[in-house]
Amino acid sequence: MHSTEWLGRESYQATIPFLDEIVQGDCRHLLRQLPDECVDVVITSPPYYRQRDYGGMGMGNESSPQEYIENLLEVFEQCVRCTKSTGSLFFNIGDKYENGSLLLVPYLFANEATRRTGVKLINVITWVKPNPEPRQYRRRLVSSTEPIFHFVKSDHYQYHYERFMAHRDMMRSRVRAGNGIGKRYLELIEQSDLTPEQKQEARLALQQAIEEVQRGEIASFRMKIRGIHSEAYGGYEGGRKSHLRNRGFTIIRMYDRAIKRDVIECPVIAVKSPNHPAVYPEFLVQELLHLTTEPGNLVLDPFIGSGTTAVVAKRMGRHYIGFEINPQYCEVAQKRVAETAVQPSLLEFFV
Ligand SMILES: C[S@@+](CC[C@H](N)C(=O)[O-])C[C@H]1O[C@@H](n2cnc3c(N)ncnc32)[C@H](O)[C@@H]1O
């Protein structure tokens, strides 16, 4: 059995060319062969403006930022056309210094992309690199972040908020459940100037909140005790403030495990691949696919390089299409994908 048959490959295959393939060629031509609205998500890192030479081929070495942005927009417009109305497009683009000043190329592109195509830019996710290239400029700081623009075509985009960075939530909640949650609050109740009746009421309310956490009804809570914790600024008098004054305590229930921030922290692949000069981390792709796709969806990368997007998509049980202009990189990508096995994530079944 073909490794992706269980995902319904046959039903896709009849209408979509290049399904589960890495194809050598210029994406500006290849994209035109894809039908409208067939792709669930585009994830890509185009060649950055004048940063690298990918074998003297393809985009990135235009003579001005404007020319580069025009070429990139041609690709972007095709990607938007191929993406379903429920789909997302992620573009990771780095900037460039010229005469000691940043050109802001990624932002000029994002601005023009939204203006021309009508897509919405819902987040600029910051990729934070804990291991940037060790340079000592003395007159400026070392860049250690890159933007990933998240565009959508409509307000009903597919989105799995709870799956983004879900492994962190799981670790946090395990720690919280095991660390004697509420013990410290019990001590504070005893130390407070609440009346004996108020202390008893506070202990019962605390016990109830602990049980709600244990039953998974709430993710967490905070308790405020009069004379110990500060009052909240602002807010209306009848709310928590009056609870704190009259009952002597208040409990704030939290329903989400964690605030999901627009940040992905993960190292750059420090050991340069002999096969490609600019490989992006698999973890980045994995988190973006968790956030915006389901198993069986189709992921497109028009600048696939060494194949990272397709490798992660296949591993996570998604279909993929990759385009790459350089025949050598294309071969590397095809080999990497062929060596990848489908390994659906356990997280998708539990969160
Ligand atoms: C930044 S790299 C992508 C790296 C990739 N994310 C990875 O992890 O390996 C950009 C790639 O786009 C390719 N490229 C440049 N112009 C292209 C074009 N017009 N069509 C298809 N690929 C192109 C380059 O050869 C290069 O491999």
Q: Which helix (H) or strand (E) holds 345?
A: none
pLDDT (tens digit per residue) in 276-290? 888 899 999 999 999
pLDDT (tens digit per residue) in 106-129? 999 999 999 999 999 999 999 999
Q: Rounded to the nearest 10 degrees, what angle do helices 105-117 and 65-82 cross at? A: 40
Longest dimension (CA), the chain: 80
Q: Which helix (H) or strand (E) holds 181?
A: none
- What pLDDT is recorded for position 105? 98
Question: Which residue spans within 209-313 are E strands per DSSP?
Answer: 220-225, 249-254, 263-265, 298-301
Sequence-distant (≥ 6) Cβ neighbours of residue 145 within 8 angstroms:
126, 127, 128, 129
Q: Which residue's CA is minimally distant from atom 3 of ligand 1? A: 305
The confidence band for 308, taking pLDDT boundaries of 50, 70 and 90, is very high
Q: Which residue's CA is minimally distant from atom 12 of ligand 1? A: 303
Which of 152, 71, 150 is CA-nearest to residue 105?
71
**Atom of ligand 1 at shortest distance to CA of 71?**
19
Residue ranges of alpha helices (H) inside the chain are 9-13, 27-30, 65-82, 105-117, 166-178, 183-191, 196-214, 242-246, 282-292, 308-315, 327-338, 347-350
Q: Is 47 in the pocket of ligand 1 (CB under 6 A)?
A: yes
Cα separation, 203 vs 193, in Å, equals: 14
For 24, the 3-state DSSP assignment is: strand
Q: What is the CATH number of domain 5-165+260-350?
A: 3.40.50.150
* Residue 190 backbone phi and psi in degrees, to 5: -60, -40
* Residue 127 backbone phi and psi in degrees, to 5: -85, 115
- What pLDDT is recorded for position 256? 66
Pairing of strands 120-128, 101-102: unpaired
- What pLDDT is recorded for position 63? 94
Question: Is it the case that residue 322 has pLDDT exceeding 50?
Answer: yes
Q: Is 26 in the pocket of ligand 1 (CB under 6 A)?
A: yes
Q: Is 276 in the pocket of ligand 1 (CB under 6 A)?
A: yes
Per-residue pLDDT, averaged over 88-114, amounts to 97
Calculate how far, in angstroms, residue 325's C-alpha sits from the geometric centre of ligand 1.
7
Q: Which residue has the higher pLDDT, 207 or 274?
A: 207
Positive or negative, the CA dihedral 318, 323, 328, 331 is positive
91 close to 151: Cβ distance less than 8 angstroms: yes
Residue ranges of alpha helices (H) inside 14-165 are 27-30, 65-82, 105-117
pTM (two decimals)? 0.80
Question: Is it the case that residue 178 has pLDDT exceeding 50?
Answer: no
Mean pLDDT of the chain: 88
Cα separation, 244 vs 229, in Å, equals: 10
- What pLDDT is recorded for position 147? 98
Domain ranges of the chain: 5-165+260-350, 175-254
Give the range among 174-178, 203-207, 232-236 with minimum mean pLDDT: 174-178
Per-residue pLDDT, averaged over 4-18, amounts to 70
